[in-house]
Amino acid sequence: MSLEIRENLQKLFVLGISYRKTALDVREKFSLSAEDQESLLKEAKNNEIEGMVILSTCNRTEIYAHSSQVELITSLFLKYCKGNRNDFNCNGYTLHGNECIRHLYKVTSGLDSQIIGDFQIVGQVKNAYQLSENLGILNSFLTRLFSFVFQASKKIKNTTEISKGAASVSHAAVQYIKDKVSTLETCNFLLYGTGDIGKDTCGNLLKHMNNRSLTLVNRTVEKAEALAAKFNIQYQTIDKLNQEVNNSEIIIVATGASKPTLTLDHFKGVESCKLVLDLSVPRNVDNAIDELDNVLVITVDELSKHISTAIEQRKACIPDAERIIQASIGEFYGWLEVKYLSPVIVALKENLQKVQKKELDYHKNKLSNDELKKVEHITNNIVNKIARACINHLKDHHKKQSSPMETLNMIFKDMDS
């Protein structure tokens, strides 16, 4: 690998913080709002940063950049987030070159997700990339790298089963409902609790419902109102919980409290059949409700059986995904070699053509037109063969030495004399 390519690879880095070593309360300090991301990118562009992409999700905040100004970008990150340098030094990471490339592939393909194979991250990475493209802070290096990464991610999703099965409580709950409830399209749903699990369940459930017969209830009504507005669905205040329990065939509890929030009192006078899914740990559905003849309660323990099976199936697909990633990285490095060899290859062909022209000019007065055409044809073939041989030699030399241009100069040194 040439010095030029090594230097360009070393300019590529990612700095960030993620769920792997950092608790949520610390991660939240480093999250960046959409407005902050845009402001950070604009300031970076004003500081002549070559290329940058910002990824900020509930599980990670990362900045991918192709620049030698690592310290400046770190300072900009800390300027726009609420975290401080000490917290970042203790919890954050900075990866360069090949490590950064592998990390980006694993993040985008779901291999580095909290839930293996979570392909929601692909859309988040694409949105981050699109923002940088819109603001004009992408160079050719990052553009081509992300293109290879997105292609590999798509291939992993289409050719492996790494995203198959329900691998989170919210996904498992929705999958259970799909499998067990034949009247999904006509049922009335109640989602009680709009924290992280409640939000995920809401989004997943609405993907499979053509109607909007889902009502949200939350102790803090503002949270229910905000989520309802996002998805254009109904919400009710906590004092209407009994009424909503009575109106709903399927009740999902995701309140995340330390004791039961759904009790026998909420089922007084209820005679119709109910399916209740308790997604909380510890249980937030009173054990006494299990004894009601018209109510079936499904707990996290039951759903976890489906999750464990799915996770093991996904883990079995990791080697196949890794092979796809490794092959794609090899193709990206091949692109780098061609990119940085292109000026050398152009110079090689120009020098060969100059030699050919010089010789033909010297001999053309001694040759007939037919003879000249034959000589031109022969010398063209010779030039092309020499060019191909030299180009192949340059590529091999390029992988091992620091200056392919020096090799080219040596090839033509004697010809010029």
The answer to whether position 237 is within a domain reads yes
Nearest 10 degrees: Cα torsion 128, 129, 130, 131: 50
Q: What is the CATH number of the domain that holds 199?
A: 3.40.50.720
Q: Are residues 149 and 90 in the same domain?
A: yes
H-type helices in 181-299, by residue range?
Answer: 196-206, 221-231, 241-247
pLDDT at 135: 97
What residue numbers bound the domain in which 49 lies? 3-162
Query: pLDDT tens, 59-98?
Result: 899 999 999 999 999 999 999 999 999 999 999 999 999 9
Q: How many domains does the chain have?
A: 3
Q: Which domain-ending residue is among 290, 312, 334?
A: 312
Q: Are residues 190 and 279 in the same domain?
A: yes
Q: Which domain-ending residue is among 108, 137, 162?
A: 162
The answer to whether position 322 is within a domain reads no
pLDDT at 397: 55
H-type helices in 293-364, by residue range?
Answer: 300-315, 318-363
Residue 167 contacts residue 118 (beta carbons within 8 Å) = yes
Annotated catalytic residues are: 58
Q: Are residues 18 and 77 in the same domain?
A: yes
Q: Are residues 93 and 141 in the same domain?
A: yes
pLDDT at 61: 95
Residue with tokens 């999958």: 175
Q: Are residues 26 and 154 in the same domain?
A: yes
Q: Is the peptide bond before 282 cis (omega within 30 degrees of 0)?
A: yes
> What is the C-alpha separation between 311 and 167, in angstroms, rounded?
6
Residue 108 contacts residue 156 (beta carbons within 8 Å) = no
Q: Are residues 16 and 147 in the same domain?
A: yes
Q: Are residues 156 and 34 in the same domain?
A: yes
Q: Which residues does the chain have with pLDDT short of 50?
A: 402, 414, 417
Q: Are residues 158 and 173 in the same domain?
A: no
Q: What is the CATH number of the domain that holds 10?
A: 3.30.460.30
Q: Are residues 124 and 221 in the same domain?
A: no
The answer to whether position 359 is within a domain reads yes
Q: Which domain-ending residue is among 162, 196, 225?
A: 162
- Name the 3-class secondary structure at 4: helix
Residue with tokens 């909420």: 266
Q: Are residues 29 and 129 in the same domain?
A: yes
pLDDT at 348: 74
Q: Are residues 141 and 279 in the same domain?
A: no
Q: Are residues 173 and 155 in the same domain?
A: no
pTM over 0.75: no
pLDDT at 95: 97
